[in-house]
Structure 1
Amino acid sequence: MLIKNDNMRFALFLPLVAVFIWSLNIVVTRYVTEFISPVSISFYRWFIAFIILTPFMLLRVWKNRQLIAQHWQHLAILSAFGMVLYQGLSYTAAHYTSATNMGIINAFIPIFTIFVSIFILKEWPNRFGFLGCLISFSGLLLVITQGKFYQLLQFGGHIGDLMMIVAVFFYAFYGVFLRKWQLQIPLFISLYIQITFAVVYHIPFLLWFGLDAINHQNMLSVLYAGIFPSLIAPLVWMLAIQNLGPNRTSIFMNLTPICTAVIAYFWLKEDWTIYHTLGTLMAIGGVMVAQRRIAS
């Protein structure tokens, strides 16, 4: 029994590690805005991950080349939505909004996924889904406006939050496409091919905007982005899913806005207001309501 308890504690520890890594990455994204451009850190993130994975993945990619050839278009689309559009907009949004707001807006991915599923999968939510969406979006508006809803008319003042919302929508598309296609490709091969596409996608942006050099001010942030949220967090998250199951594991994502806010408070000295508390509670509550099933 002691061994089983220890194994369960370890399994519960895994998603917490992943959430902490992703939360810290949001704060790092906000912190490094003064030292590197969005397109540069986005490129370095995936290029570093590509360099690290390549020695381990080349043989596996070659052995699975026929399978990859069948699905390369799907992988290219997934990379565009999940790694380039979502991450690129997140890095850009960090120049205009706080890490705390970014963490809270990230918590709305499940709700945005419901909306995207309507158009892509033709899956209409039940009454709990609609109610959960209403609660969550009310919380989102509360966070963005700090309770002053008339400020929604001042679009320029919320450009960072709006960009983050668009980024989250792109990630919702990523999740829905994964569900729709259900590619029978080993996870690490899928991840590696998507990272490869992400590196290629960045080339036109680098030619247009240029590439900032890595220096002593941004080096640690760049290395962190390329290793921890890109490689280690997905690995421990997949291990958590294997041990706890997808539904139980996904609950831990609700800790992301809280974890992000705590790190941002101590590192970046960002304020945590009553509106952040209410918005976070409404986001989490809305997701929980939306996931309810109607009794048959």
Structure 2
Amino acid sequence: MQKGKTPVTLYLLLVLVMASWGLNVTATKILVAHFPPITMTAFRIFTAAIVVFIFLIAIGKFRLPTRRELGYIVAGSLFNIFIHHYFLASGLTMTSGTNGGLILGIGPVLTAILAVIFLREAISAGQLIGLVAGLLGVSIVVLTGGQGLSGISLGDIYVFIAILSQCFSFIIIKRIAGTLDTRLMTAYMLLIGSVLLFFTSLIKEPDGLAQMSGHSVSMWALFLVSAVCATAFGNLIYNFAVGQIGPSKTAIFMNLNPFFSLIGAALFLNEQISWMQILGFILIIIGVVLGSGALTELLRTRNKVRDPEKILDE
């Protein structure tokens, strides 16, 4: 891949990842109604780690990390897996869906701010417009579909800690991406994070292991789909994109989560989608196209097709 250029396929893969994450919200709502949340999450992430390790061994990318790389991996595990999932699971039980959705919606903005501070990334005018449009779109989608905005609560603080820790983990991933394959880092992060969550579940959910048994085949099938598609390959592709195009541009795609979440809720939970939410979806898509740089890449690809000599020149 040439520096400064990103294959359109990577953007399409990120859209698919957001689809899997958005639909996984519906799957998670179903799973936590049958499994203990923290214990189930630990097992789901551990399953994802095994899948990613098998994939990396198959393509010849597995190796042991150096001592320096291990430090980044442990830090990434703490922020991306343990702190994020623990505070998100706890916070969403103590706040409204509207508040939680709005706080999660500031993820791309937080990531962009952290990228400027720690990575000295420059924010273009198009990217800034995309960030604002995406945030506005997420706000419309969440506010018109929720139970109304409520006052700040401890749950809101927990959700903010969850999204802030995840955004900071993207900075850590980008910092080490030059020497450590982000796909390999993802595997180690999932493994270490799942172990930390498991020991936490032993304290928070003493009967968690016992409650994991006795469920239907269809419920375990949903668990595996969530673990493999959303957690394993979702994190694998997303973290790879962070290393390729940077955390702020990749995070723009997170705005698509509410879009696919509502589609999942409409398809499987019989929830209604309003016209205002459709307007929000349009703003989200505009924000993603402008903020991620996808429009520039699409125009560049289109110009290459029209003028084949440009391909030879490059």
TM-score, structure 1 normalization? 0.69
Separation (CA, whole Å) in 1 of partners of 2:120 and 2:238: 28
Question: Where do residues 118-133 of structure 1 align in structure 2 (5 Å cutoff)?
Answer: 118-123=116-121, 125=123, 132-133=130-131
Question: Where do residues 1-296 of structure 1 align in structure 2 (5 Å cutoff)?
Answer: 14-15=13-14, 17-52=16-51, 64-65=63-64, 67-92=65-90, 95=93, 108-123=106-121, 125=123, 132-146=130-144, 152=149, 154-155=151-152, 163-210=158-205, 212-216=211-215, 218-234=219-235, 255-288=256-289, 290=291
SS at match of 2:169: helix
Bigger shift: residues 29-38 or 253-262: 253-262
CA apart distance, 1:99: 8.3
Separation (CA, whole Å) in 2 of partners of 1:16 and 1:62: 25
Q: Is the 8 A contact 1:38 1:92 kept in 2?
A: no
Change (3 A) 1:63 1:122: closer
SS at match of 2:179: coil
SS at match of 2:66: helix
Q: Is the 8 A contact 1:99 1:261 kept in 2?
A: no
Bigger shift: residues 122-131 or 197-206: 122-131
SS at match of 1:155: coil
Q: Percent identity, please.
A: 20
1:73-122 Cα deviation digits (max 9, x unpaired): 11111112222233334444555689899788766533221122244335
Q: Is the 8 A contact 1:15 1:237 kept in 2?
A: yes
CA apart distance, 1:14: 4.7
Structure 1: unaligned runs, 5 residues or longer? 1-7
1:147-194 Cα deviation digits (max 9, x unpaired): 99xx655235xx777655543332221222222333412344322211
Separation (CA, whole Å) in 2 of partners of 1:80 and 1:281: 35
Corresponding letter in the other structure for 2:45: W
Q: Is the 8 A contact 1:110 1:287 kept in 2?
A: no
Separation (CA, whole Å) in 2 of partners of 1:245 and 1:133: 15
CA apart distance, 1:260: 2.2
What is the Cα-based RMSD across aligned positions, in Å? Answer: 4.7
1:40-69 Cα deviation digits (max 9, x unpaired): 12101122234445567689999843x432
Change (3 A) 1:33 1:79: same
Separation (CA, whole Å) in 2 of partners of 1:96 and 1:273: 26
Separation (CA, whole Å) in 1 of partners of 2:67 and 2:249: 34
TM-score, structure 2 normalization? 0.66
Q: Is the 8 A contact 2:99 2:150 kept in 1?
A: no
Corresponding letter in the other structure for 1:33: V
1:224-265 Cα deviation digits (max 9, x unpaired): 2322222233456689999x9999998866644322211111
Q: Is the 8 A contact 1:26 1:99 kept in 2?
A: no
SS at match of 1:34: coil
Q: Is the 8 A contact 1:136 1:283 kept in 2?
A: yes
Q: Is the 8 A contact 1:100 1:270 kept in 2?
A: no
SS at match of 2:32: helix
| Residue 3 (structure 1) aligns with | none
Bigger shift: residues 32-41 or 272-281: 272-281
Structure 2: unaligned runs, 5 residues or longer? 1-6, 294-314
| Residue 4 (structure 1) aligns with | none
Separation (CA, whole Å) in 1 of partners of 2:72 and 2:46: 21
Q: Is the 8 A contact 2:39 2:198 kept in 1?
A: no
SS at match of 1:174: helix
Separation (CA, whole Å) in 1 of partners of 2:99 and 2:237: 25
Separation (CA, whole Å) in 2 of partners of 1:249 and 1:126: 15
